[in-house]
Structure 1
Amino acid sequence: MPPIPQVPQTPPAAAAGRIAVIGAGAIGGYAAALAQWAGLDVTLCVRSPLDGLTVESGGTVRTAAVRIATEPAGVAPVDWVLLTTKAQDTAGAEGWLRRLCGPGTAVAVLQNGVGLEERVAPYVPEGTAILPSAVFISAERTAPGRILHHVASELHVPEGPLADRFAALLAGSELRVRPVADFTTTSWRKLFTNIAANPITALLQQRIGVFADPGMAAMTRDLLREAAAVARAEGADIGERDVEGTLEIYAAAPPDGGSSMLYDRLAGRPLEHEYITGAVVEAGERHGIDTPLNRMLLTLLRAIDRDLQDDRDLRDGSA
């Protein structure tokens, strides 16, 4: 196999804004790199030191000259914070958020699930502007600081002045910001892409190609129909077209692609099930809508997550 071409690092253009990205997973690393290549001043906030940041996309590897910060004490307020941690790690980002948010700072939340503003509000200074985002990016972290981008580079956000500011900030990058009028529908539509793909690939430890099986596709259709009923009760315009559209997305995706939950399980990290499958089950309970397939998946995911936690405890105890 011929070597993957490396694109030499070039000095960034004059910075048009100061950005801090909290989290160096697939989404955080990818977003930080694209912002830096567009000439923005980017600080990547991580728990453990990195020896650099590279992104492979379309067979080409590029290096991003981002600043790496490992302690909240070492950062100061910026114009924009991109919160890209997993949903379950939001509280753990509070130290970063308190240091990075000053007067005029806005926080864009690039996480899975719904209710992003309510999730983040307790951990930022009162009055901080929060912009929820539906993330349409397929990428995985193959090693610390090493990101493999598969497909898509879009963030859908609720339209308004804050969305316009965010779109202008990233206008020179390959990360497209798309303001939408009905963000409730958008956020549930994005959740749809995760509701089946994430738990099923994680449980089976298989890639997206598993949905080519007719029996799996039929079960997925029933799973999504449960979620569609819940989404409508939550005020989203979700129907059968979204069920079939999600199945079409799975069919068109590269069969060797995965999901963030699959990557987390393979790496032994905590799973995000409570904010994906759990969001469907919880909302269903609020509205009196039964969700037996989603409840079954949630029960299985919780069991796996407990086992992963036990494995982490054993490793930590033997260190």
Structure 2
Amino acid sequence: MNPLASERPVAIIGAGAIGLSLASALARAGRSITVCGGREPIDHIEITEDGSTETWPVRHVTDPADIAWYTTAIVAVKGHHTAAVADWLRAVAHPGATVLVAQNGVEQCERVMPYVGAAHIMPSVIYLNVERTAPGHAILRRVGALDIAVPDDAASASLATELSAGGMRTSTEADLKTVAWAKLLSNITANPLTALTGRRADVMRDPGIERIARRIMTEAIEVGRAAGAALTDEHAERALHWLQHVPEGSTTSMREDRLAGRSLEYDALTGAVVRAAERHAIDAPVNRSVLALLAAIKPEVAA
């Protein structure tokens, strides 16, 4: 056994805003943290919440072989960057390993399945609003009463318990599909509309933007129902209320990526709705229009 096994390390594949936040919870619960790859070495992570900052030491590795014996990994890269971390995912593709997929969208399992082999895939729905301010550093804003939802199954229970012990408000869900589609309603409105306007989340309170958001959600509810999610019109009302009452200064990852000239995560969000609409022969003109607008934005820097 590896001499570090007693530390029960967690591999963080994607040390962005969400990856850092989940890592901080597991560090608080007593797990050691290993940050995988990245452009800059990180020797600690720092999370600021409500003006208070906590710091934890981390190990930084650059070779996927270094995590080959790990039994817990969190993949928190954007959906369209999954293939770029394939070697890291293959390193933990063994029975007994749990891979928590902390990505947006409703296609998490399908996205990582080609790479993780016999590992247990643990999809999740993330509600945190986090802004990465520097390598290893992030500002955490909690929105609503829940931080993360995960499947209600035995293989996921242990990690869910540790996240809760580390301060993440965690829910286990028997019907995660419906939960994921309900969260997607927020993602396919706030992310594109903040990215396209360049404004923070307060833009969702503008009457004209609210009307567009409602049309986006109405289409997605029809598509989600066809895909097997138990969505109702009330899900749209709750999503819109949630978006209009996020903490002041809240932003979205897509807005931040556009301002930084990076590629955008539209395929995992609006793209998923359009693909599902096509599978079920449902017209979704507003979502198709939003997808075309986002696809026309070209990155200015390497992803």
Match of 1:43 in 2: 34
- Alignment of structure 1 residues 254-273 onto 2, 5 Å: 254-273=247-266
**Cα 1:15/1:202, change in 2 over 3 Å:** farther
The alpha carbon displacement at 1:255 in A equals 3.7
- Structure having greater relative contact order (Cα 8 Å, sep ≥ 6): 2
1:282 aligns with 2:271: no
Residue of structure 1 aligned with 2:17, choices 26, 33, 36: 26
1:84 aligns with 2:105: no
1:75 aligns with 2:67: yes
Q: CA RMSD in A?
A: 1.8
Percent identity for Structure 1 against Structure 2 = 40
**1:146-169 Cα distance to aligned partner (Å, 9 max, x none):** 111111462211211112122233
1:164 aligns with 2:144: no
**1:22-76 Cα distance to aligned partner (Å, 9 max, x none):** 1110001111122112211211113222253211111011111121223323333
**Cα 1:161/1:129, change in 2 over 3 Å:** same
Matched letter for residue 22 of structure 1: I
Decide whether the 8 Å contact of 2:92 with 2:119 is kept in 1.
no
Match of 2:131 in 1: 140
Q: In 2, distance between residues paired with 1:247 and 1:208? A: 11
The alpha carbon displacement at 1:15 in A equals 6.6
Match of 2:234 in 1: 241
- TM-score normalised to structure 2 length: 0.92
Residue of structure 2 aligned with 1:118, choices 93, 110, 130: 110
* Residue-pair matches, total: 296
Decide whether the 8 Å contact of 1:33 with 1:66 is kept in 2.
no
- Alignment of structure 1 residues 213-228 onto 2, 5 Å: 213-228=206-221
Q: In 1, distance between residues paired with 2:251 and 2:6? A: 34
Match of 1:104 in 2: 96
Matched letter for residue 36 of structure 1: A
Q: Secondary structure at the match of 1:312?
A: coil
Residue of structure 2 aligned with 1:62, choices 25, 39, 54: 54
Q: Secondary structure at the match of 2:165?
A: coil
Decide whether the 8 Å contact of 2:46 with 2:55 is kept in 1.
yes
Q: Segments of 4+ in structure 1 off by > 4 A?
A: none
Match of 1:206 in 2: 199
Q: In 1, distance between residues paired with 2:120 and 2:66? A: 23
- TM-score normalised to structure 1 length: 0.88
Q: Which has the larger radius of gyration?
A: 1
**1:113-139 Cα distance to aligned partner (Å, 9 max, x none):** 1121111110113x2211111111110
Unaligned runs of 5+ in 1: 1-13
